[in-house]
Amino acid sequence: MNKIWAIAKRELGTYFSSPVAYVFIVIFLLLANFFTFMVSKFFERGSADLLTFFVWHPWIYLFLVPAVGMRLWSEELRLGTMELLFTMPVTPWQAILGKFLASWLFLLLTLALTFPLVLTVLYLGHPDIGQIICGYGGSFLLAGAFLAITCMTSALTRNQVISFIVSVVVCLFLILCGWPPVTDTVVNWAPAWFVDTLAGIGVMAHYDGLQRGVIDSRDLVFFLSLIVFFLFTTSVILRSHRA
C-alpha cells in the first residue's frame, strides 16, 4: 500500500510540476460550462437539475481523459525508467494501480472543481441532491473506465501521440456502439448475440441511468469490470515488454 502511494504521489507531482494539470483543469471547466450554459441552455430550461451538465461528460472525457493518461506508461518506455521501476521491489500491480489511482484522483479533483454549478442549482431551486451525487459518481466511473483504456494504450507504445489517438478511438467506439445508427448497421447480417453484446458494451446506456440518479448494480459492475479488464490488459502488455 505504501508503495502504491509512493508511485501515485510521484505521478501527481508530475502533473502539478508542469502546466499540464492547470491547462487541463481550465479547459475542462471551460468546456463543461460552455456546453451546459450555452449549448444546453441551462437557464432557459428552468429545471433544477444537472442533467444538462452530465450529458456532455462522455464527450469531454473522450478527448481529455486520453490527454491525462497518455503519458502514464509511454513516458516510462521512452525514458527507460520502466527498467528502473520494475527492478525495484514493486509488483506490477502496485505500479499499475499507483499510476491509475493518481490519474483518477486528478480527474476527481477536476470534477470536484465544478462545485459552483452545484451551488448554482441549490441557490436557484430545490434539486434532488441524491441525483446530483449519483451523477457525479457516474461521471467519475466513466472517467475511470476511459482512463483504464488510456493506461492500456499508453503501455502499447513509447509514443504519446499514438497512445492518445488509439485511446480516443477505443473510447469513441464504447460511446457509439450502443447507439441505434451503429447497431442498425450490423443488425441485418450479424447474429443476435453479437448485436446484443455490441449494445451491451456501450457506455452510454450505463451512464444514462446513473446521471438520472438510478443506481443499478449492473451499471456499477459494468464500469468496474471495464476498469479491471483494461488494467489487466495493461499488465499483460507490460509483461510482454519484459519477455
Partner 1 sequence: MITVEKLTKHFGPKIAVDDLSFAVEKGEVLGFLGPNGAGKSTSMRMITGYLTPSAGKITVCGFDVADNPLQSRNRIGYLPENAPMYSDMSVLGFLGFCAELRGLYGTTKNQAIGRVVDLCFLENVLHQSVDTLSKGYRHRTCLAQSLIHDPEVLILDEPTDGLDPNQKHEVRSLIRRMGKEKAIIFSTHILEEVEAACTRALIIDQGKIVANGTPEELKRRAPLAGSIIVGFQGPPWQTVETELGKLPSLQKSELISQTDFRVIARLQPKGDLLPEIVALAQRERWRIESLTVDEGRLDDVFRLITMPDTKRTSAA
Q: Is residue 81 near partner 1 by the rule CB under 8 A?
A: yes
Among 30, 39, 88, 122, binds partner 1 (CB under 8 A): 88
How far does Cα 220 stand from its chain's mean position? Answer: 14
* Long-range interactions of 33-40: CB distance < 8 A, separation 24+: 33/114, 33/117, 35/59, 35/60, 36/117
Binding partner 1 by CB under 8 A: which of 12, 31, 90, 111? 90
Q: Does 126 bind partner 1 (CB under 8 A)?
A: no
Q: Determine phi and psi for 68, rounding to 5 degrees.
A: -75, -40
- 6 interacts with partner 1 by CB under 8 A: yes
Residues between 142 and 201 with contacts to partner 1, criterion CB under 8 A: none
Find the part of the chain contacting partner 1 (CB under 8 A) among 76-84, 112-120, 148-156, 170-178: 76-84
Q: Which stretch binds partner 1 (CB under 8 A): 13-21, 45-53, 113-121, 158-166?
A: 13-21
83 binds partner 1 (CB under 8 A): yes
Q: Does 22 bind partner 1 (CB under 8 A)?
A: no
Binding residue (CB under 8 A) for partner 1 from 13, 19, 125, 130: 13
Ordered alpha helix ranges (H), the chain: 2-17, 20-33, 42-45, 51-54, 57-69, 71-79, 81-85, 92-112, 115-124, 129-156, 160-176, 180-187, 192-200, 203-211, 217-241
What are the grid coordinates assigned to 135, written together? 451523477
- Binding-site ranges for partner 1 (CB under 8 A): 2-3, 6-7, 9-10, 13-14, 17-18, 79-81, 83-91, 242-243
